[in-house]
Structure 1
Amino acid sequence: MSAAQYARLVPKKYRSRTLPKIDRPWRPRVIAWAGPAAFYPNRFYEIDKWYKARIDKPERLPEMHIIDPAEHMKSLQELMQKPETESINIGFAKKEATVKAEKSEKDRVELERKSRHMQLKIDIDSVDVENLSVYRHFQVFDHLFGENVFFENVQKLEVDYQDNIVHSGNILTANSTVTRPEVSIQSVGKGGFNTLLMVNLDGNGFEEKNGELIHWMVSNIPDGEEVTKGREDIEYLQPLPFYGTGYHRVAFVLFRHSQPVDLKINGSTFENRIQSISELYKSHENVLTPSAIRFFQTSYDNSVKTALHSLGLKSPLYEYEYRPALKPAQREFPEKPQPFDLYLDMYRDPKEVEKEVLEKRLSEVKLDNVKEPKWIDPDYVENKKKLPAWLHSKQLERKGVGYAKYHNDVL
């Protein structure tokens, strides 16, 4: 209660002989700067000091984590598990393995002896190494034909880039795939034709067009004949994994059909090579049946840029967009004590920092006839007097804290 309010409410004859207690602000009505004490770790220790008049404690909010009670007790394996759905085989039925006669006990002992002495030889061609789990892991079937579909490798397909053979997901360099590969297709012995597609599942660079990039297409290959006997609808083009896009999956898909087909795909331009394989197969599923598949992975090298320039295209560069670094809101008096130049560097424009780093690196390019100075700062005494302490310490950082900022060989 103020003095004026007390005078209006209480008559004069009933007033107290002593002065009433009047409400006063507990802090003076002045704007006082905290000075260097704002950077002390315990600047809130004495909150009633006069120079703390306009400094408020930082507000700390707890992190909120929303927990779903229904999902809280499930393990990670249960959360990551997908609902089981029956997969559909869109190809031929798998060949039944021939049952071999059981070996006698004497033969088993002899095989064990050879195995222990490293004398047992195995014919690789006779071993069945087909495993569709690799294709499911890389989602080759899902991205080519849709989800929950697959087909068995019932026809032998060999793709060979000179000394590099395409298996099931092995890595080949883009430089080794410049020329078209040698392809060998097993003869079924029932006549008919084969159609071979070479597809890059990750090579579509057009946002407005959905589909995969067809690098090579040979249709109507007679059964038992070489690939050159077929009709080359789309000429061979080496895989083109763009810079910064990582590994691309390149698949060779073989289709069987009884009569010659015309898929009506024009691959004269780079954009026309972008086709949806699932829609293409859907429109010809009554005629085409997939029988074999092989795929490999490849990444960018200089041969990709050369191939794009030969087509009259520029080589695009992709970079990963990192999320901005988490940092507190900039304040005049930060909570954590630290040098002010490092604190202000957190809020500088990243382009300005990159420019400074680049200029520093270019200035330190070592030539053959240039020697590194013996002394870091020959004018140490003068700079100590004239320059600010933080700027002078920055000049003295040759092998100290700021060295890695300008000499990071990884970047």
Structure 2
Amino acid sequence: MSFSNLLMKSGLNHGLRGTPATVVLISTRQGHRLRGKPPGVARTLEQRLREETVTDPEVVARINIGFPQLKESRSAQLKTRLEHLKTQRANKQLEQLARSQKLIIDLDKVQQTYVQTTGQHDLRLLADHYGIFEHLYGSAYFVPRVPLSISYELGGDTLTPVYNGNVIKPAEAAKQPLVSFDGQMDPITGKSAAGQDSYWTLLATNPDAHYTNPSAECLHWFIANIPNGRVSEGQVLAEYLPPFPPKGVGYQRMVFVLYKQQAAMDLGSYQLASSDYSNLEKRTFSTLEFYRQHQEQLTPAGLAFYQTNWDESLTEFYHDVLNLKEPVYEYDFPKPYLADQKFFPLKQPFNLYMDKHRDEKQLNKEYLQRKLAKSHPFDGPAKPLRFPNAHPIKDVPSWLKTEIRKQRLGTGRIQDY
């Protein structure tokens, strides 16, 4: 292919004379994206164009589907900040308390200030880190504007809050959580709009829990037409279903998304009958499709999510609630590659080399027998040496010296058992 044809194919056939068109060239080598001139022998432009890829920012740009934010100008923010600092420095009592180490800081007020300033932006970055937006909205995202408070009751006055992807066990999330938010807040200005009725929708889905369709979600909770933030008065379209991650699959994500409605909506088509409470196929859901159908009437405004994994309480939940046999997933690891045996394995511990070609169950049995032989039936195992390296090892082969030294220090293969 000629150089001109290569340029036409790459979309760079213009600008051959004079200064070429401005194009961002990013080379990819060994899985790393590098900028600038690569090391090594200098190559021609034709050779570099064959290796480099051109990305269009308009194609890969993500779409913000949330509310914008109206903020004061930077000069006004700076003026307010300086006035606050001036007031704090003029407070002599505050300085005396700080010097005497008696100053008490209200952590609740600090948390409230953090949520109102940068907390929601940090939550958006954390959601990106956990792949929340990618798996729910594809190439879209939003910045949460309405702080969403969700917590589970554990009995008594103990609460387990949902924050920043923390881990909550299924036994802790068995009951319907407590949800609160400011239903009178204007997501754009961040101020209260008292006197005006507002309606909200709360959705809780698990993008990792669907059995038959990996691209679908499991609907765990659906409340629509929540008036002025009073969740208990909303229209419950799907009763709360606790998370049920199977044994062996690791962590799953539970995501709560709060939508601001333009007005009251008719979402009766999503109503789940009480008889279908445990029907997982009827709980198949797609957040992206839901938003595409109703994006003119509602806008995402709040977000909260956590992680959960299997615990023993799910065995009874599968049998009694879901009426299913509890699934258990195991990893089928391929057998390790073993080269042909050698008569003289050089530069290798002889005992470790021979154990590679023996049955693993037999090795575990021998190790257990040696361990039990040194353990008293009532007093337990013998106490370890206080100074393991101070005791000499005599009249044994070199490979056995290494094995005994590892046993004394508790290192090596002993960590596998």
Identify whether the pair has TM-score above 0.5, normalized to the shorter chain. yes
Among residues 257, 260, 267, which one is paired with 2:265 in the alignment? 260
Among residues 130, 151, 158, which one is paired with 1:160 in the alignment? 151
The residue number in structure 2 matching 1:203 is: 209
The residue number in structure 2 matching 1:301 is: 311
**Structure 2 CA distance for aligned equivalents of residues 83 and 355 of structure 1:** 59
Is 1:235 equivalent to 2:239 in the alignment? yes
Q: CA deviation at 1:300?
A: 2.2
**Structure 2 CA distance for aligned equivalents of residues 156 and 104 of structure 1:** 25
**Structure 2 CA distance for aligned equivalents of residues 407 and 282 of structure 1:** 55
**Structure 2 CA distance for aligned equivalents of residues 306 and 168 of structure 1:** 29
Between 1:104-113 and 1:265-274, the stretch displaced more is 104-113
TM-score normalised according to structure 2 size: 0.61
Among residues 245, 255, 262, which one is paired with 2:249 in the alignment? 245
SS in structure 1 opposite 2:336? coil
**Structure 1 CA distance for aligned equivalents of residues 349 and 83 of structure 2:** 80
Cα separation, partners in 2 of 1:316 and 1:354, compared to 1, 3 Å: farther
Q: CA deviation at 1:357?
A: 2.5
**Structure 2 CA distance for aligned equivalents of residues 239 and 245 of structure 1:** 13
User: Contact 1:172 / 1:298 at 8 angstroms: preserved in 2?
Assistant: yes
Q: CA deviation at 1:181?
A: 0.8
Is 1:316 equivalent to 2:327 in the alignment? yes
Cα separation, partners in 2 of 1:210 and 1:106, compared to 1, 3 Å: closer
Is 1:121 equivalent to 2:122 in the alignment? no
Is 1:281 equivalent to 2:291 in the alignment? yes
The residue number in structure 2 matching 1:15 is: none
The residue number in structure 2 matching 1:290 is: 300
Q: How many residues align?
A: 316
Is 1:90 equivalent to 2:65 in the alignment? yes
Cα separation, partners in 2 of 1:195 and 1:371, compared to 1, 3 Å: closer
Amino acid in structure 2 at the alignment position of 1:216: W
Amino acid in structure 2 at the alignment position of 1:220: N
Task: Give CA-to-partner distance per residue, 1:12-49, whole Å, 9 cap, x none.
Answer: xxxxxxxxxxxxxxxxxxxxxxxxxxxxxxxxxxxxxx
**Structure 2 CA distance for aligned equivalents of residues 325 and 278 of structure 1:** 43
Between 1:127-136 and 1:311-320, the stretch displaced more is 311-320
Task: Give CA-to-partner distance per residue, 1:128-162, whole Å, 9 cap, x none.
Answer: 22222111111211111112x11122223211213
**Structure 2 CA distance for aligned equivalents of residues 405 and 357 of structure 1:** 16
Unaligned stretches of 5+ in structure 2?
1-26, 37-54, 154-158, 185-193, 383-398
Q: CA deviation at 1:306?
A: 2.8
**Structure 2 CA distance for aligned equivalents of residues 293 and 192 of structure 1:** 18
Instruction: Map residues 7-406 of structure 1 onto 2, 5 A cutoff.
Output: 71=28, 85-96=60-71, 101=80, 102-103=82-83, 106-110=86-90, 113=95, 117=101, 119=103, 121-122=105-106, 123-124=109-110, 125-127=112-114, 128=116, 129-131=119-121, 132-147=124-139, 149-162=140-153, 163-188=159-184, 189=194, 190-204=196-210, 206-208=211-213, 210-225=215-230, 227-257=231-261, 258-262=263-267, 263-264=269-270, 266=272, 268=277, 269-310=279-320, 311-322=322-333, 324-327=335-338, 329-331=339-341, 333=343, 336=346, 343=353, 345-347=355-357, 352-354=359-361, 357=364, 361=368, 368=377
Cα separation, partners in 2 of 1:105 and 1:78, compared to 1, 3 Å: same
SS in structure 2 opposite 1:171? coil
User: Contact 1:196 / 1:218 at 8 angstroms: preserved in 2?
Assistant: yes
Cα separation, partners in 2 of 1:120 and 1:107, compared to 1, 3 Å: farther
Q: CA deviation at 1:335?
A: 5.6
Cα separation, partners in 2 of 1:253 and 1:371, compared to 1, 3 Å: closer
Give me the CA root mean square deviation. 4.3
**Structure 2 CA distance for aligned equivalents of residues 363 and 314 of structure 1:** 40
**Structure 2 CA distance for aligned equivalents of residues 314 and 406 of structure 1:** 40
Amino acid in structure 2 at the alignment position of 1:194: W
**Structure 1 CA distance for aligned equivalents of residues 270 and 238 of structure 2:** 11
**Structure 2 CA distance for aligned equivalents of residues 360 and 309 of structure 1:** 39
Unaligned stretches of 5+ in structure 1?
1-69, 374-392
Q: CA deviation at 1:289?
A: 1.7
TM-score normalised according to structure 1 size: 0.62
Cα separation, partners in 2 of 1:344 and 1:166, compared to 1, 3 Å: same
**Structure 1 CA distance for aligned equivalents of residues 369 and 302 of structure 2:** 54
Say which one has the larger Rg. Answer: 1
Q: Could you say which structure has the higher helix fraction?
A: 2
Q: CA deviation at 1:71?
A: 4.2
The residue number in structure 2 matching 1:381 is: none
Amino acid in structure 2 at the alignment position of 1:135: A
SS in structure 2 opposite 1:308? helix
**Structure 1 CA distance for aligned equivalents of residues 370 and 354 of structure 2:** 24
Q: CA deviation at 1:290?
A: 1.1
SS in structure 2 opposite 1:271? coil
**Structure 2 CA distance for aligned equivalents of residues 142 and 321 of structure 1:** 29
Amino acid in structure 1 at the alignment position of 2:207: L
Cα separation, partners in 2 of 1:107 and 1:151, compared to 1, 3 Å: same
User: Contact 2:251 / 2:308 at 8 angstroms: preserved in 1?
Assistant: yes
Cα separation, partners in 2 of 1:312 and 1:75, compared to 1, 3 Å: closer
Q: Percent identity?
A: 25
SS in structure 1 opposite 2:172? helix
